[in-house]
Structure 1
Amino acid sequence: MRWRGPRRSRRRSGVRRVTCRRRPPRREFPWKSSSKSRAAPRPSRMQRVPERVFFEAKPVLAVALALVLALVAELVPALEPVRVLSAVKRAPSEPEAAPSAPPEATEGEAVLERSAIVSEARLSADESAPVVALDRLESLPDFGEPPRPLIDPSGRALDQFFASLDRTRRRDAGATTRVLHYGDSLIVSDYVSGTLRRRMQGVFGDGGHGYQLMANAWPAYFHNDVFRFATAGFRASRIVGPETKDGLYGLGGVTFRSYSGLRAQFGTEEKGTFGRSVSRFVVSYLEFPGAGSLEVWIDGAQAAIIDTNGPSPRVMRREFSVPDGPHRFEIVTRGGETRTFGVVMERDEPGVVWDALGIQGARIRFLDKIEPEHFADELRWRDPKLVVFEFGTNESGDGYAYPMPEYQRTMQEVLRRVRAAVPSADCLIIGTMDRARVEDGQVTSMKIIQLIVAEQEKAAAEVGCAYFDTYQAMGGWGSMPAWVRRGLGQKDMMHPTGVGADRIGTWVFQALMQSYRAYNERPATKDSE
């Protein structure tokens, strides 16, 4: 018996009694040996749990199930919205700011970080855009019905574009159908535009990837089905700011200044169906007094040295032809300051070229910041048959600080300027998506979206462009909250996920093919060609 100390009891008859507390009997435990020796240490808690019981514990089974589900989501394309392990990889453009008033851009340059090597696609697998040998078909296949057809009161807003598709379909020599797709953050990440490029090239042929900026003007800048890389140090001036005084931004609304030793690489994709071949590279740059030079390397061998020094500022372009196939194209800056815009990749084969010209944070009126004659010259250089405009997200962020009559006026000015520069090109406006926010504790669509949609449709009719109503195709009022719940919209309730953007691109493609089929069924169409 172990002594636990004295315990005083009640005094009785003036005598103090002292008693001892007995220790309770020792309980027997299964890990105790029958021996009475106490030298062995007591086992830890984990040692006392049998192995079989540990792996059958509910917390362990729950963690294992979560890991299995996460791996399944990575392997199944349809579960992209709920992926956890690769969520950072799939992140599209960063959410754009929603200022209470139109932003004011400053003059200057933004120093860019190193552009990551891009060798993967943010779109789903190639099977989402099947290749159809349309030139061997007597009639157009059924591509499905879009939720909304194109709005074209004249019925002929896209005739020039469709006539070019006919020539491409017949595989006429030099029959390349080029499309310029201007837009905001969605197009910066090649969302919607990437789907349309794959769909059109899968049907009419791969004419090449098209125009790309010299470096990543924004962290979210991305192009599907192409190899891209740029070192850190490029200084970018953009129409969204910081701006350049001369207004020379090139086709994509961005110009890049650099000094000796910077590199930019472009090339074909190494896997998949699209972007596997190229026949020529075209570099666009500015010649000006005291400028440095550009070393051009093709497939590891030096191809040329471009002297960009000239008596006065002048936009120049240099083309480099290569045998059709996989190639790498590299530009290295040398000497003094150089100024570049972008690189074009095309093929000599008849097909479709879809230039993704995204400008993060842009409104459609920002295109008028490009010097007018320079902008017209850039458009004529590309010789497009269709110019697409997909804006509205950032205009909704401006709220009512920018009046709707001004929005209508400036939008029409940009559309008319483009049509005057390239009268042989048609135009298409892809309407803005629904956008939601929390008001009084409830998630609801923003009322200004309906006003913007109405103004976009009105401008398209006034200028003679076709119009696709994305807002109604999504479901109209309240559709964005529903898209978020279904994994088609991001949590910011203003951008789609990759799956949602692919769906919008597919709808636009179906609407274009629906109108193209109607064009081919008109008796007068073939007689007028």
Structure 2
Amino acid sequence: MPQQRPQGVAIPSDRKRRGELAYVEKSHAAFWLILLALVDIVAIAAIGGYVLLGGDDSSLSVMSSQGQVVGQAAHDRAKLQEMSQVILRQRQQNGSLQRQVITLGDQRSSLLADLGQMKSLYSSLRVENSWSIVKEDLAKLFKEEQTVASIPPDLYLTVPVQSDGPLDATVEVVNRLKPLDDPIPNQEVFVSKQDAGLVRQAEGEARPAAANGGSLVTSPDNQQAVSSEDMEVAALEPQAAPTDGASVQSREVQAGELDLTALPRSRPAELDSQSNVKLASIAPQPGFEPAPTPAPVVGPVSGNAQRFLAKMKALQAGQLDEPITILHIGDSHIASDSFTRGIRTRLQSDFGNAGRGAVIPANAFKWAYADGLSMSRSNGWSSANSLKVKAGPYGLSGVRVWTSSPGAKMSLTSKAGSFDWAEVTFYVGPGQGSATVTTEAGSKRVSTSAAKAGSRTVRIEGRSKTLSVAHNGGGRTTVLNWSTGSNKPGIRYVNFGISGATVAVTTRWSDQLIANDIKRIDPDLIIYGYGTNEGYNDNLNMASYRQMAGGLVDKMQEAAPGAALMFIGPADGARRRSSSLSCGGGWYTPAKLGAVRNTLKEMAEDYSALYWDWSSAMGGRCGVAKWSTQNPKLASGDRVHMTSKGYDRSAGAFVSFLERQVKNSLKIASN
């Protein structure tokens, strides 16, 4: 019988009991799962420790390698940052060193300038101290010999007497020496640089003396007397001693030596009885100035200039087997080969003749001339130069000659014998035709037509005395320059100039054509010869001029980086236009001429170049006045250009300067 449930008591159902049992079982399962998971974690940790301690599980090894890569990358980044810091510090040190170099350069320039001043001061002190030395020596002589020696006749000077009549009278003058403790009158000593003769002391109390027993030697019509206060003694040059049989000192005096024994011991008594005579001044005319003192040495020649001088020295010694080429560009002094002719002749005589080199085409302009060559052209040719016609094309010669007439011919003949090769440089571009180049060694036909403008040089090897260019047709034939030369060692002196030109004309030249010409000529020395015409422009802006001149020099230097540079300060000149710089006779020095000269000298220093002052070879400012009035004349009537003799003398001075630098290339090349 089934057991009955008591009333009011809730008895769980089977379903509910089964759910509770399932819950308990699930709880147990979860517990064991968690326990197993913990065991797995411990196992994995153990395995990882094993691998880290040297286990060989491959998968764990891969994980370890990846970790090492990440660590190495971090190390590399740290290393790069460290190197960047090192580079930054080195850059800072480099900047500091550069600033120190600049400072040292400034200090060096200052020290060299101080050295120049010290040398000048030393020279001045030597001159000022010379009188003290003389006084000491004389004092010794006076102690040894108290007797009054006879006055040697070789102390007397013959000078003209100032009068209204002809200067045919002469007087004999001797200076009286004051007591040794007296100051030097006027503190001036006149010394002849050329003769280095006896030093004469100018005294206001000097009186004329006679050599014939006290009588004044004058012409009968020219005697006059003035007070001793009016006595004027000019800068007297030593003259030869009289040869009338009077006693002279037996001891020979060397040039530049002061003969102390020839000085009078006291004032000659006969001088007190003589009439006072006013002497004519033989000082330079107003406006004339002595030649400027040569610039002090500021440092050694360096760079390309030093290499050029060394190469010249090797050529002179016969140790060079190739020619040296000098390129000289400028104005009218160069255009007609007036100045450069004498330079070329002298250098080729001393160093060897390597041929004429490049020249302008035939009849390029009115005053064009090339020494040593004869050039001509037939009808049909035209020409232009960059001074008169702005539009190009122009190369380094600054001119061009062209024709469109078939058969038109231009010829060159050497007056100095055969050359070894010949070249013709054509302009090429659209509208150009063809030409034939001919020498005695052969001929070449050349096309000058091209899609792009430029130049082309045709060369013919072989001995010949003649060179010609003939137009074949098909357009124009345009010649920029042509050349002849020798293959033996020597000097090849190339000159390109335009009459009336300034450096401004070079801005009309093609940079490409300039570069082509210079690379072909391959100069060892480039001489900048502009400046004369700029000096006559009173409105010239010196900053603009320097910039323009520097632009041309930079172009040439870029095309010939190994070439040395030289600047020539313009020659002295004068004109009728009034200015504060008078040379007398209504002639005046152009106001800007000196400024141009100074600018070119500064540029020479900036470019480590050679520098030669043409005006110093003429005697300085107003030297052209003397050159244009002396006989024979050295300067023409316009006082801008020289005569042939003047150009030849200038060329001689230039070559002497250059050869001095070759002889001693350790000195700065500046006169």
Into which bin does the TM-score normalised by the smaller protein fall? 0.5 to 0.7
**Partner in structure 2 of residue 433 of structure 1:** 571
Distance 1:152 1:369 in 2: 38
**Partner in structure 2 of residue 313 of structure 1:** 453
Superposition deviation, residue 431 in structure 1: 1.1
**Partner in structure 2 of residue 479 of structure 1:** 623
For structure 1, the residue ranges without an aligned partner over 5 or more in a row are: 1-145, 270-274, 523-529
**Partner in structure 1 of residue 424 of structure 2:** 283
Matched position secondary structure for 1:161:
helix
* 1:293 counterpart (434, 437, 440): 434
Superposition deviation, residue 497 in structure 1: 0.8
**Partner in structure 1 of residue 594 of structure 2:** 450
2:311/2:320 contact within 8 Å kept: no
Distance 2:299 2:402 in 1: 45
Superposition deviation, residue 174 in structure 1: 5.0
* 2:553 counterpart (415, 418, 426): 415
1:152/1:466 contact within 8 Å kept: no
* 1:206 counterpart (353, 356, 380): 353
Matched position secondary structure for 2:334:
helix
> CA 1:147–1:172 in 2, change beyond 3 Å: closer, same or farther?
farther
In the alignment, does 2:487 pair up with 1:348? yes
2:396/2:509 contact within 8 Å kept: no
Distance 1:369 1:504 in 2: 30
Deviates more, 1:277-286 or 1:304-313: 304-313
**Partner in structure 2 of residue 503 of structure 1:** 649
- Which structure has the larger Rg? 2
In the alignment, does 2:337 pair up with 1:160? no
Distance 2:522 2:295 in 1: 24
**Partner in structure 2 of residue 221 of structure 1:** 368
Distance 1:373 1:310 in 2: 15
In the alignment, does 2:402 pair up with 1:257? yes
* 1:461 counterpart (605, 608, 618): 605
1:488/1:497 contact within 8 Å kept: yes
Deviates more, 1:182-191 or 1:326-335: 326-335
Distance 1:307 1:171 in 2: 42
Superposition deviation, residue 316 in structure 1: 0.7
Deviation string 1:42-77 (CA, Å, 9 cap, x unpaired) is: xxxxxxxxxxxxxxxxxxxxxxxxxxxxxxxxxxxx
Aligned AA (2:404)? Y
Distance 1:372 1:291 in 2: 20
Superposition deviation, residue 258 in structure 1: 1.1
**Partner in structure 2 of residue 384 of structure 1:** 523
Aligned AA (1:310)? A
Matched position secondary structure for 1:321:
strand
Superposition deviation, residue 214 in structure 1: 1.6
**Partner in structure 2 of residue 36 of structure 1:** none
Deviates more, 1:256-265 or 1:343-352: 256-265
Matched position secondary structure for 1:198:
helix
2:301/2:667 contact within 8 Å kept: no
Percent of residue pairs identical = 23
Aligned AA (2:432)? A
> CA 1:297–1:151 in 2, change beyond 3 Å: closer, same or farther?
farther
Distance 1:395 1:504 in 2: 20
**Partner in structure 1 of residue 88 of structure 2:** none
Superposition deviation, residue 460 in structure 1: 1.4
> CA 1:485–1:364 in 2, change beyond 3 Å: closer, same or farther?
same
User: Which structure 2 residues correspond to residues 111-130 of structure 1 after superposition, within 5 A?
Assistant: none
Aligned AA (2:306)? D
Distance 1:250 1:160 in 2: 28
Distance 1:457 1:475 in 2: 18
User: Which structure 2 residues correspond to residues 100-115 of structure 1 after superposition, within 5 A?
Assistant: none
Choose between structure 1 and 2 for higher RCO, CA contacts under 8 A separated by at least 6 residues: 1
In the alignment, does 2:320 pair up with 1:182? no
Aligned AA (1:244)? A
Distance 1:509 1:418 in 2: 23
Distance 1:481 1:436 in 2: 8
Matched position secondary structure for 1:516:
helix
Matched position secondary structure for 1:192:
helix
Superposition deviation, residue 454 in structure 1: 1.3
| Higher share in helix | 2
> CA 1:439–1:329 in 2, change beyond 3 Å: closer, same or farther?
closer
Distance 1:466 1:407 in 2: 20
Aligned AA (1:250)? G
1:415/1:463 contact within 8 Å kept: no
Matched position secondary structure for 1:438:
coil
**Partner in structure 2 of residue 362 of structure 1:** 501
**Partner in structure 1 of residue 665 of structure 2:** 519
Aligned AA (1:307)? S
Cα RMSD for the two superposed structures: 2.5
> CA 1:458–1:173 in 2, change beyond 3 Å: closer, same or farther?
closer
Superposition deviation, residue 294 in structure 1: 1.3
Matched position secondary structure for 1:405:
helix
* 1:244 counterpart (391, 409, 421): 391
Superposition deviation, residue 286 in structure 1: 1.9
Aligned AA (2:365)? W
Matched position secondary structure for 1:519:
coil
> CA 1:392–1:293 in 2, change beyond 3 Å: closer, same or farther?
same
Superposition deviation, residue 333 in structure 1: 1.3
> CA 1:312–1:447 in 2, change beyond 3 Å: closer, same or farther?
closer
**Partner in structure 2 of residue 268 of structure 1:** 414
Superposition deviation, residue 302 in structure 1: 6.2
1:283/1:317 contact within 8 Å kept: yes
Matched position secondary structure for 1:424:
coil
Superposition deviation, residue 178 in structure 1: 0.4
* 1:230 counterpart (377, 380, 383): 377
Matched position secondary structure for 1:315:
strand
Superposition deviation, residue 173 in structure 1: 6.9
> CA 1:173–1:438 in 2, change beyond 3 Å: closer, same or farther?
closer
Matched position secondary structure for 1:435:
coil
**Partner in structure 1 of residue 44 of structure 2:** none
Superposition deviation, residue 338 in structure 1: 1.3
| Higher share in strand | 1
Deviation string 1:346-399 (CA, Å, 9 cap, x unpaired) is: 111111100011122211243233222332232122111000111222112322
Q: TM-score, normalised by structure 1?
A: 0.65
> CA 1:411–1:309 in 2, change beyond 3 Å: closer, same or farther?
closer
Distance 2:432 2:488 in 1: 36
Superposition deviation, residue 147 in structure 1: 9.7
Superposition deviation, residue 171 in structure 1: 4.6
Aligned residues: 366
Superposition deviation, residue 152 in structure 1: 7.2
Aligned AA (1:294)? A
User: Which structure 2 residues correspond to residues 68-79 of structure 1 after superposition, within 5 A?
Assistant: none
